[in-house]
Every structure is written in structure tokens, then in C-alpha cells.
Amino acid sequence: MPPAFSFPQIPASSVSVNIGDPVDPQALEQAKAIVSSIKDADDKSKALLEKAKAFGDMQKEEESYVVPNKELKEAYENLPQTEREALDRIHARVLAFATAQRNSITDITIPIPGGSAGHRVTACTTAGCYAPGGRYPLPSSVIMTCVTARAAGCTFVVCSSPRPAPITLAAAYVSGCDTFVKVGGAQAIAAMAYGIPAAGSIPEIPRADVIVGPGNKWVTAAKSIVNGFCGIDMLAGPSEVLVICDKTANADVVAADLIAQAEHDVVARPLLVSDDQEMIDKVTEASKKRLETMPEPNRTTALTAFSTGFSVLCSDVPECVKVSDEIAPEHLEIQTEDAMNVGMSCKSYGGLFIGEDAAEVMGDYGAGPNHTLPTGGTGRYTGGLSVFNFLGIRTWMRIDDKKESQQMVNDTSVMARLEGLEGHARAADCRKIEK
């Protein structure tokens, strides 16, 4: 029997930021063993193959964990026309947004005393992109990660996902993936972080400079282990949606959006914040009614998630915004009067969806902005996946006129001696012009 419907209401005064450790301690210990078994193996390819089979990422009889590119193309070409065209359109919208992001930051040069300084914007060479492959295939995550890496300018893109469905392989083809690895979990993160040499007919998996993408607790734990050896996007926890609504909202639409997020996982968090008790009651009733017609296992999953979510009654919309900023939700929907201004007054969130028709699920499936977003309150200080995760801002300076640089040389000598770094001071002194 599924659990009874429950959607607690809590006072605004009891809401506090909830930045917990996204890394499960037990998963971390297990991930350490898996990562080490691949990183330290004499034959990394064999070790990866064994782990992939042991964890059910691929069939026992299969001998290669890399899907040939021709199979990616075949998967795309064999899709029904409606699915193929949907992939193409989603790809185009995500690419357009990511390209606009890339074009928003450029190289700069400014004058300094006696010369010039500036920065260059350059992409990392190899991107590792992870897409979950659990109960549901997530081709959207393939597009969100691989397309963004390509738009940033990465020259090589590796995508990894266990038990890939044809739609997942097709998404990798559309996204321009160079190598597709049908491996998941901590073993996939280890393979992309440390690289796997070519072995017989199995091509090399090059070491990734940055690894991105959502995953289960073992993926998150493994990303925390390799972070520093390579870059990562974020350590994401359970998914969240927070809807700010007032009396003008459509309660049934709000309920539908809460359920859409709740069906992700039993620990997902549907959150409702309103200045109108009648609206909270209507949304609660509409959610209960909608869940009665949901198929299994989605229904039971969502019912459990609702019991860990909550609603909050505020005195007015500005207080709703304050509560939302305290929570810093992954997804934030605004369904109020003057929704644009309300949305622009919010400071802490992963992705923002303004107005009744800007459904969060459309953000999930390729409106343009990325759906890989910060969770667990980390939206207070970071945003979602973007081309910037793959870019380095590298500064430079040069001196063309030694005479014009002398004041800067003198300032350097003074500051170095104030810090007790005589070697620094003397390195500056040898640039002085002798009088």
C-alpha cells in the first residue's frame, strides 16, 4: 500500500537554510574502494570492465565498454521521426543558449604602467559528461552536459551512462559526443578522471579536465574524491522545487509542478510558499487529487516526497521571497501578480521560472538554460552548469616601456619588504633603472 498523503505546513519563522553534506558517508567509503581499484590497477581497462559487469552497467558477455560511434548514429536514425525531431529542436535550443553564454565573455586587454595586461578565455581540452541511467533513461542530461561542453570549446567530449537506452545513444550522437562509455556509478567517474588506456579493440578514454553531470550517491561521492585532480561542476543532492504563489495562481497547475518534482525521488522536496492560506489549501487538495491518478511507482515515490516537503504561509509576497532566499531552492517558480519583478527580487536559487506558463519541466527538457542545478541551499553562492564550468580565465601582463614602469617597480619593492619577502623585493629591484 502506498503511504497516505501528507503535506505539512510550517511557520515561516522555522524555515532555515539547509546546507547539509551531499556526500553519503557509506557511499563515500564504497566509492573510495571502487575508484582506487581502477586508479591503481595495472590493467585499468580490465579493472573497469570487471566493475562495469559486476554492477550491471553492461551485459556479462560484452567485451567493450565503449559504444562505437556508428551505433550512436544508428540509434539516432532508427528513432521515430517525432522523437528524432524533438531531439534536434532541444539540441538547437540548448546550443543557442550555451553559445550566447560563451559569447558573453571575451578576451580583454588594458593598459598598465609601461605595458599591458589582460585575460584570455580558453576551454579545457577534455570534458567528462555523466548522465544517470537508473529507473529512467535521461537523454536530456546527455544534451545538457555534452552540448554545453561543445559550446564552451572543448576539443574532446566523453559521455558515460550505464545501460544506455537507444534514446540516450541518439542524444549522444546529436550532441557531438566523441566517446560514449556504457559505465555508471563511481567506476565511470574514476574512468573519466584518471583515463583508461586503449586495450586491443577498445579505444582510449582520455583523462578529463572537468567532470560534470548529475548522478546517484555513489557518483556524487566519487566526484568528491576526484575533485582537485580534475574539476567538477558541483556535488548535487536530492532535487527540489519551490513555488511562490499568491491568490492569482492556478492551484491545479502549481500542484502539477510540485508533483513533477516529487516523482524524481522519495527524498525530493516539493515546497510551497504563499501569502494566501486559501491558495495553500487549494494546492494541497489539488496535489492529493492528482496523485490519486498517478501510475506506480511514480505515485508512491511522490507521496513519500510530499511528506518530507512542506508549505509556508507568509504575511506578504516580499516575505515569501525572503523565505525562498533562505532555502535557496534548486528550482524556483514564481506564479504571482507582477511575476517578473517578484522573480528579479529573488537572490538565491539554481534556476528561475517566471509566470504560470514557464513550467520547470520545460527547463528540464531544453528551453535553453541548463537543468543541472545546485541543490541543498548551495544556490546561495553558485549557479547551474554552464559553459563557464569548462572555461579558464587566464591572465597575462607584459612591460614594453621600462621607464614608465618604474613607479610600479618601486611599489613592488616596498610591499615585498613590508611582507618580509626580501627575495621578492630584490627581484623587483633588478628591474629598476640605474640613475
Q: Which residues form the catalytic set?
A: 330-331
Distance of CA 399 to the CA centre of its chain: 41
- Alpha-carbon distance values, 338 to 253, 271, 278, 299 (Å): 18, 21, 20, 34
Q: Which of 426, 324, 319 lies closest to 379, judged by CA?
A: 324
- Alpha-carbon distance values, 141 to 74, 92, 160, 167, 373 (Å): 20, 15, 11, 12, 11
Which residues of 231-280 form beta strands (DSSP E)? 231-232, 240-245, 269-274
How large is the C-alpha radius of gyration of the chain? 25
What is the edge-to-edge ordering of all strands in the sheet holding 108-112?
108-112, 115-123, 391-399
Pair 312, 323: CB distance under 8 Å? yes
Length of the chain: 435
Quote the longest CA-to-CA distance of the chain. Answer: 91
Q: What count of other Cβ atoms lies within 10 Å of the Cβ of residue 120?
A: 13
Q: What count of other Cβ atoms lies within 10 Å of the Cβ of residue 72?
A: 24
Pair 180, 191: CB distance under 8 Å? no
- Alpha-carbon distance values, 106 to 74, 119, 120, 148, 150 (Å): 38, 9, 7, 17, 17
Q: Which of 10, 11, 5 lies closest to 306, judged by CA?
A: 5
Q: Are strands 331-335 and 351-354 parallel, antiparallel or unpaired?
A: parallel
CA-CA distance, 354 to 163, in Å (whole number)? 36
Pair 392, 365: CB distance under 8 Å? no
- Alpha-carbon distance values, 400 to 111, 412, 434 (Å): 11, 18, 18
